[in-house]
């Protein structure tokens, strides 16, 4: 049978230790115990300002800790954690890690302040609302500034810089009708729609779009632009890769297979 102490803890592997405070030889309850009693432990911690690495709440949680040890812990932590109020610049001890003001009065003063700032576009001063971090005095200034910044290559929807010089209303209607017709015929022949390059279906791809292999911006008024040979149904990822020039090999393959060079020479 293994030996046990009064509390039922095995003491076979434990060895006797010497208390560093009173130099008394004792049998520890665990291998981490260094002092023979709680009084010796409190005496060993007197005069130390590191507060054992705990916050005030954790340090004062013990019931049998002496008053001197509690006071040492409280003073050490206050010296380390004091702050200055952002309104009155008064030194205070925060109740939480995120507190920035010494009292509720200072907090109310800070929350009622509505600073005047200059508009980023027109330069006029205006009152900004609380918790509303805008830099523009009106929506017109914001829209004008954004439209100037996002022109040309700075716009994420930029493709190649070409534009279609025609009546946009009529030509856009022809373009959309040709794409919807190709999509409808593709659905009738295959019973479901999928990307013709990566074979991703409607559930796997975010969006499926009809793409002109020879772009409409390069051949805006060509009679064979909306020919089914020049159309292909692809996912939005491959559509963006086509316009960015990442799928040049696929473009050449489709150009040879469908005979687009001869078709667009007419």
Spatial distance between the Cα atoms of 66 and 44, rounded to a whole number of angstroms: 12
**Extents of the domains making up the chain:** 17-80, 116-149, 168-263
Report pTM: 0.39
HEC string for 188-257: HHHCCCECCCCCCECCCCCCEEEEECCCCCCCCCCCCCCCHHHEEEEEHHHHHHHHHCCCHHHHHHHHHH
Query: pLDDT (tens digit, 0 to 9) for every residue of the chain, 266 residues total?
Result: 456 666 665 555 677 888 888 888 888 877 778 888 888 887 877 655 444 444 444 444 444 556 666 666 666 555 556 788 888 888 887 777 678 888 888 887 765 555 678 898 998 988 877 667 788 888 899 888 888 888 777 776 665 555 444 444 445 678 888 888 999 999 999 888 999 999 888 888 888 999 999 988 788 778 888 899 999 999 998 998 988 888 999 999 999 999 988 888 85
First to last CA, the chain: 103
Q: What is the pLDDT of residue 210?
A: 92
Rounded to whole angstroms, what are the CA distances from 117 to 114, 125, 136, 144, 240?
Answer: 9, 5, 9, 19, 41
Partners of 206 in the beta sheet?
none
Return the SS3 of 26. Answer: strand
The label of the residue with tokens 């799928």 reads: 247
Partners of 17 in the beta sheet?
26
Q: 96 Cβ partners below 8 Å, 6+ apart?
A: none
DSSP state of 4: B
């Amino acid at each position: 049978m293994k030996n046990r102490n009064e509390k039922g803890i095995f003491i076979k592997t434990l060895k006797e230790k010497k208390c560093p405070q009173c130099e008394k030889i004792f049998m520890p309850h665990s291998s981490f115990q260094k002092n023979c009693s709680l009084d010796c432990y409190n005496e060993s911690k007197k005069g130390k300002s590191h507060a054992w690495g705990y916050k005030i709440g954790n340090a004062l949680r013990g019931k049998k800790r002496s008053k001197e040890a509690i006071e040492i812990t409280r003073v050490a932590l206050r010296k380390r954690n004091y702050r200055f109020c952002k309104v009155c610049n008064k030194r205070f001890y925060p109740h939480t890690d995120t507190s920035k003001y010494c009292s509720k009065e200072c907090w109310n003063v800070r929350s009622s302040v509505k600073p005047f700032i200059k508009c980023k576009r027109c330069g006029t001063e205006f009152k900004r609302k609380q918790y509303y971090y805008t830099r523009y005095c009106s929506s017109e200034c914001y829209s004008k500034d954004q439209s100037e910044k996002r022109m040309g290559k700075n716009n994420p929807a930029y493709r190649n810089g070409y534009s279609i010089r025609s009546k946009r209303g009529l030509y856009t209607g022809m373009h959309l009708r040709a794409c919807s017709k190709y999509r409808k015929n593709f659905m009738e022949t295959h019973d479901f729609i999928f990307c013709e390059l990566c074979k991703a279906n409607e559930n796997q791809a975010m969006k499926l779009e009809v793409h002109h292999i020879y772009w409409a911006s390069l051949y805006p008024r060509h009679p064979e632009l909306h020919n089914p040979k020049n159309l292909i149904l692809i996912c939005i990822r491959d559509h963006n890769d086509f316009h960015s020039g990442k799928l040049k090999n696929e473009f050449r393959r489709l150009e040879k297979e469908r005979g687009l060079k001869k078709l667009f020479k007419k």
